[in-house]
Structure 1
């Protein structure tokens, strides 16, 4: 088409609807998987020193209902973690089926053993297996995996600092 001028070409392209460069198709946002009540995120965080004492905040939040439970302890130990889980079982009106925690020594012995595997001999793991609760661990150095409880920790810490 050596004699076709620019305006005619443009009008023809508009007529056929091909006058623009096609936009890239955006990937649709995936919907968040719905969970039944009973999947808890548990974490421990430090509280600011009050009266020269260090305190630890144990926090549990249910993934489905967002019901929050927390307690303050003097020490961050496996015994306190077991006590906290027992109190969670009493507090929540539903059966706890899964627990997601970080790799802290109060929750697992994964990094204490030579082969870096969970032995099942840790007090918290024993309680989970006796109670038929599946205990899952986050990947090391990835707090976003347990982000729901990490966000709650931040909010509680901010409330504590404002007082």
Structure 2
């Protein structure tokens, strides 16, 4: 039953003389409103940031907008590959003209040369430039290089 129906029944049956808006205002009062269930507060697990360099590095790819390109690069499509070590925050980035598993593998080889330590763990966002595991069993060039 809606508010108007309720107001009409009150008016006909009990000779209610106030307006619909005043009925609404009275019904909105805390004593008339239904009791809401208290939401359980979500407690996030604390993230265990590595303290030893090379424990975990993260690789990500972003498209570089054309408005950010100047000079000879104007009009080309570029992708920025970024890698960062979680413990030391040491960062390396490179630009590639294609967004592929070949570019990712080439970037991985550059990362291995750049970092002064042996990389133990690599975290990615499971993009198609890194893996096909969500679609097929066949390993990408990037995954083969990691092995």
Residue 58 (structure 2) pairs with residue 35 (structure 1): no
Question: For 1:124, what is the secondary structure of its paired residue?
Answer: helix
The list of structure 1 runs, each at least 4 consecutive aligned residues, that deviate by more than 3 angstroms after superposition, is 29-35
Contact 1:120 1:126 survives alignment (8 Å): no
> Residue 30 of structure 1: CA displacement?
5.1
Residue 61 (structure 2) pairs with residue 44 (structure 1): yes
The residue number in structure 1 matching 2:145 is: 127
- Alignment size in residue pairs: 97
**Structure with larger Rg:** 2
Quick one: distance in 2 between partners of 1:89 and 1:40? Answer: 11
Contact 1:42 1:58 survives alignment (8 Å): yes
Deviations 1:18-61 (A, max 9, x none): xxxxxxxxx9x958443321111000001011322111000000
2:135 alignment partner, one of 107, 112, 127: 112
The residue number in structure 1 matching 2:117 is: 94
RMSD: 2.0
Question: For 2:143, what is the secondary structure of its paired residue?
Answer: helix
The residue number in structure 2 matching 1:59 is: 82
> Residue 110 of structure 1: CA displacement?
1.9
Contact 2:49 2:87 survives alignment (8 Å): no
> Residue 126 of structure 1: CA displacement?
0.8
Question: For 1:82, what is the secondary structure of its paired residue?
Answer: helix
Q: What is the TM-score normalised by the length of structure 2?
A: 0.60
The answer for unaligned runs of 5 or more in structure 2 is 1-42
Question: For 2:57, what is the secondary structure of its paired residue?
Answer: strand
- Return the structure number with greater strand share: 1
Question: For 1:60, what is the secondary structure of its paired residue?
Answer: strand
